Every structure is written in structure tokens, then in C-alpha cells.
């Protein structure tokens, strides 16, 4: 079981991700509705992994990703995206996210099994 931080501005999507991780995955989950709240949670809560949306108002997922990696260099981060306001080609979004250090990227809508598999892979990696 891992302790996971979910950062997602959409209540419905956030609740769905939390439900999958807790009910199907058996993980302990803390959640934030925006990047700033997510970063604040990293100060107070030890987590094994973070899942963040890219397109959020205020502190977006890219900023969260960069700052989370600076605060917690070994923290695996899964980025989820379905596109945003300008909706750049998904390949561009993926390359930008990967350049900022994402450990996995899932395209919305994704299957529960894909999320759980990414979490399992990233929380069972041997320490380097």
C-alpha cells in the first residue's frame, strides 16, 4: 500500500481517481484541488507518489511537477491530461511533461487498470 497525493481541480475526476486508488488499489490517498494546496500538503505529509492534472487554474500541473520534484527529488509523479484551454497536440503536451520530470503520463479518459499499473510500477521500483 502506498500513500498517494492526488492533485486535480475537477471534483468529479478527483473523486474518481481517489476512489480507484483506495477501493481497487488499497492505497491511502490525500487530495488537493489545486497545485498550491498540493505543494503545501507535501510539506506536511510524507507521500510515496503524486498524481496531478496538467491544466488547473493558478498553479498548474507543470509548475506543481517542477516544484514537487525540487522539494522531494525522489518522488514519482504521474501526470494525467485530457488537453487544456489551448489544447495543444497531445504529443507536445507529453514531451513538455516528460521534459519536466514526469515519471508516467496518462491520457484522460484512462482505464482504472492503467492508473493502478503505473502506481504499482512506480512504487515498487528499487531504490537507486
- pLDDT value, residue 118: 96
SS3 49: strand
In a domain, 112, yes or no: yes
The arrangement of strands across the sheet holding 3-7 comes to: 28-32, 3-7, 49-53, 77-81, 104-107
The Cα–Cα gap between 100 and 42 comes to 18
In a domain, 102, yes or no: yes
The model's pTM: 0.89
- pLDDT value, residue 128: 46
In a domain, 128, yes or no: no
Residue 29 belongs to what H/E stretch? strand 28-32
The Cα–Cα gap between 93 and 8 comes to 17
In a domain, 80, yes or no: no
CATH code of the domain covering residue 109? 3.40.50.2300
| Phi and psi, residue 117, nearest 5° | -65, -40
In a domain, 79, yes or no: no
Per-residue model confidence as pLDDT tens for the chain (128 residues)? 999 999 999 999 999 999 999 999 999 999 999 999 999 999 887 999 999 998 888 888 889 999 999 999 999 999 998 765 555 545 555 666 666 789 998 888 899 999 999 999 999 966 54
CB atoms within 10 A of CB 36: 16
Amino acid at each position: 500500500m502506498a500513500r498517494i497525493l492526488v492533485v486535480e481541480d475537477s471534483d468529479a475526476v478527483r473523486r474518481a481517481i481517489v476512489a480507484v486508488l483506495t477501493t481497487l488499489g488499497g492505497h491511502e490517498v490525500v487530495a488537493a484541488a489545486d497545485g498550491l494546496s498540493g505543494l503545501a500538503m507535501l510539506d506536511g505529509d510524507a507521500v510515496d507518489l503524486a498524481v496531478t492534472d496538467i491544466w488547473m487554474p493558478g498553479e498548474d500541473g507543470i509548475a506543481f511537477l517542477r516544484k514537487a520534484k525540487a522539494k522531494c527529488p525522489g518522488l514519482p509523479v504521474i501526470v494525467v491530461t485530457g488537453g487544456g484551454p489551448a489544447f495543444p497536440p497531445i504529443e507536445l503536451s507529453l514531451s513538455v511533461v516528460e521534459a519536466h520530470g514526469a515519471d508516467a503520463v496518462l491520457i484522460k479518459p484512462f482505464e482504472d487498470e492503467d492508473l493502478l499499473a503505473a502506481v504499482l510500477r512506480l512504487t515498487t521500483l528499487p531504490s537507486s
